[in-house]
Amino acid sequence: MIKEIVVGLLSSPAVWGVILTTLFVFIGYIVHKTKTKKDDAIWHAIQGMLINAFNIAEKAIPDTSKGTFGKIDVALKTFTEEYSKRNGKAPDEGLINFAKDEFAILANLAKKN
């Protein structure tokens, strides 16, 4: 009897919605309470390095060049060098992929302006 009730509840999308919402709220609360100002400072430093690297690439490669692959290469090289200087190690693959995504967003914003 109890087993049938539990199976019936767990097969309902509404129950799963409540469970997942509760789980996400709990995780958000934990992240909010454990976040520090140091995390914000690290994020702002990385974001500054990304924007600086993108600006250097924009200045180094003229807009008349074909394709944008060269600009991303220059920006990525600049970002990797600056990150390595500040942190004493090269950025990991996840951060490099994040940097590429950010460069694409910055390129779109630059084209709009």
| 100 neighbors 72 (Cβ within 8 angstroms) | yes
- pTM value surpassing 0.75: no
Cα diameter, the chain: 74
pLDDT at position 19: 80
Nearest of 100, 22, 3 to residue 54 by alpha carbon: 100
**Mind listing the pLDDT tens digit for each residue in 31-64?**
777 777 777 777 777 777 777 777 777 776 665 5
